[in-house]
Chain A
Amino acid sequence: MAASAVTAVRGWSGLLLGVRSVVLRLPGLTQVRWSRYGPEYQDPQIDKGYFRKPLAALTEEEKYERELRKTQVIKAAPATRTSSVFEDPVISKFTNMMMKGGNKILARSLMTQTLEAVKRKQFEKYHTASAEEQATIERNPYTIFHQALKNCEPVIGLVSILKGGHFYQVPVPLADQRRRFLAMKWMITECREKKHRRMLMPEKLSQELLEAFHNRGPVIKRKHDMHKMAEANRALAHYRWW
């Protein structure tokens, strides 16, 4: 959160350059989580295929790159990143966002239970459906998860811009990362808040994921509301300066 605030501040590069350093020192916007690695540290290479390539198959560029890496300092790989075939960066990110108080075990178990619930529901539907419908039913929970989150991503976002003493909601294009984050955030918020007291998270999440996969449901509605607001405020688009 502080990192996103700092990057937001960096984005105002043309606006009041002198104020930037003051803003960074404010208690609400002080960076509390920063990397202990300097800029010279390189990211670790997790992909085993990179190392299994035979020496003869490498181009000159790749050979040079390998020799260069031998001289560079490399960061330690985090415990969550593996070279396993089952690793999925989207699932990892979603699990981290669901995590509360550092309880990764619980978050991961909820995630696996959600995927299992999705799979079970789809298999039930499959076994009760006729032959033509069976071809259209998607049973892989990972594809359902990815497609659902892709359907939830907003295309355009709204930003509060101060002009003439009033804040206006201005439509603004969003970066890919921001869109993915918003989709996941909306999904998690929706599942946390709008569920029955006794309903468990995996059940609710699987329900919402399946609905988003079919382009209906509350998260998709929220995305459409955002689009409608942007469409209503399209005249204010000129308040942007970037």
Chain B
Amino acid sequence: MAAVQDGPMELDAEKEAKPEILSDGTSNLSGNTASGTLSSSPLTAAPAGGAPKMEDQQTLIAVLQFLKRNKLSESVEILRREAGLGEHQEGSQATDGSGGGKGDGDGGDANSLLSRVSITSAAAPQSMPVKKDQPDVSVVLSAYSQQGDPPLYQVYYSGLKNFIESVLDCHRAELSQLFYPLFVHMYLELVYNNHETEAKAFFDKFSGDQECYYQDDLHILCGLTKKEHLKGNEVLLDFRTSRFVLHISRDSYQLLKRHLQERHNNQIWNIIQEHLYIDIFDGMPRSKSQIDSMSGSLAGEAKREVNKAKVFYGLLKEPEIEVPLDDEDDEAENEEGKPKKKKTKKDSLGSKSKKQDPNAPQQNRIPLPELKDSDKLDKIMYMKESTKRIRLGPENLPSICFYTFLNAFQGLTAVDFTDDSSLLAGGFADSTVRVWSVTPKKLRKVKSAGELNVIEKESDDVLERIMDEKTASESKILHGHSGPVYGVSFSPDRNYLLSSSEDGTVRLWSLQTFTCLVGYKGHNYPVWDTHFSPFGYYFVSGGHDRVARLWATDHYQPLRIFAGHLADVTCTRFHPNSNYVATGSTDRTVRLWDVLNANCVRILTGHKGPIHSLAFSPNGKFLASGSTDGRVLLWDIGHGLMIGELKGHTDTIYALKFSRDGEILASGSMDNTVRLWDSMKAFDEVETDDFTATTGHIHLPDNSQELLLGMYHSKSTPVTHLHFTRRNLLLAAGAYNSQ
């Protein structure tokens, strides 16, 4: 989130205001602390100390402006009183900065004031929507105000380049990571300081050196040549507000540091200090392929400590439901009544769940809805079906049924199946949602209230009687959104349907009445995806505003906001135990959030393109993610490690699904294919010894071809959704593309 960074950034800005008299990096730091102490001294001090004080005042004024604009007049008053700023000063602050705080109190006062400012400035934006705050942006960008000699930038950069190319091979790969962030930051500095021609020359000279997976960003970058353009550009804002994270071994880092100190290369050293976060680890430097597999995200790799938190990835205990002993003679049982019913036994699932999974969260860690009778019936159905499930494996591949949407001129944008594969929902670009019945059973509405009054409520078939036979049809259209529907999700009990749309709302539809029940407003921008919790009640949504939100169906405001992604949240999935939420984003990271406290517990980097599909394995241990670059990455949630890379698709992967037992991973893509992968083998082959677990440096075997079990073409139908039925039949869905 941009705003969170503001506090430190302002301090940065303050530091950068120092002229470049300091000869090297270390003394630069000490100089900064010196200036910090200076700022606490009375304002009547030497003019050298006046500059920082002026900065403070500017900050204060910026805060005041901000509060004013948001009509927080009381806060403005209080702040003004406390800061002792006259109203006139706001307007004229630019001209006479030093005169501002002359009259007021002692140094202690100023000190407390400063601390208060830093708190408010950090806290206030948090409560606000993220973007488009001009003062904030200008403050952020002012980090670039530092001036070097523009023509020298090329010299600096090529000097570093020569150095890195001359070091030992084992260090070269690691230090090469510096190229891209340095390049971007130097370019932006040039642009910010209006050295347009130098910037262009710099870009032309060095852009070719960057890794190919940064092409998209470079493309955006090369269009930026004016300082004014920097303000509105979201991608650049991301780059500024977050530090680019690099993992470098201690040896390599020492090498770099020594080099830069020898050369007195301040310019680069400053950038490293201010804009990069170098995560130093002890041990062997990583190889090029190891680095490549983890890099590619907008903000570099994840810091190691981010992924240290424990994740309870185990499954929750199944509720104990008595399953009838014999599947076949349900009727006989009913006839004979009670005595036989007592002979029911616990299903194997029930007995298995007796021992608690050590990795599972507390049963009541997240309050879950009570099971209704209909849910229990459904669970029983599920268990019965699962006994008839086909065991899949490399020799035993699933059959594939393709649900083709015909005449979808308006554009199919999202598909979902119910868990029992009885209903199919499609979201369309013409802002409709359509629901089809996949079984011969037609869709019926509940009768109107007047008709319902007439019904005898005691009768056995009252549930049947409340349905209006006249409305029976194969499909129903749900109108309500005012923009393309980008995500649909059925509730597990099949009573509700969620849809998220470009109009910024998530809507909850009743599948009994086929009407809209609630419109959840919170995202002010397009909502790209939504997903129901596997236990119902909760759902998650994510959109263009870069946050994912957790909702409960009976609350019109979100329960949690998962903020941290640097770009749009493109897809959201609930963990099978409902305690975690995974989100994929345009910033090319996958994040795992704890529903309990909205903390980000995992940041998974390695994708080279926006992530458009996610799937948890049924046992909750693994996560698969697919992106626009056509690769599927497999993650071990417990260790936060990448454990597999499945290459083969040639276009965006929009659908991922594990088979019911987790043996097979199916991926569907825009390239009109469904591919099946041997996920069991992929998980087994990973050696998770202590070293890899602690350092996170995994060496991935390049075995996509061995893991690929099958590739299945459709004629001209991109695969938008995949679903395994309870018996492990694979259902695929997509709209026929006649061109």
Chains A and B bind each other: no
Q: B interface vs A, CB < 8 Å?
A: none
Q: A interface vs B, CB < 8 Å?
A: none
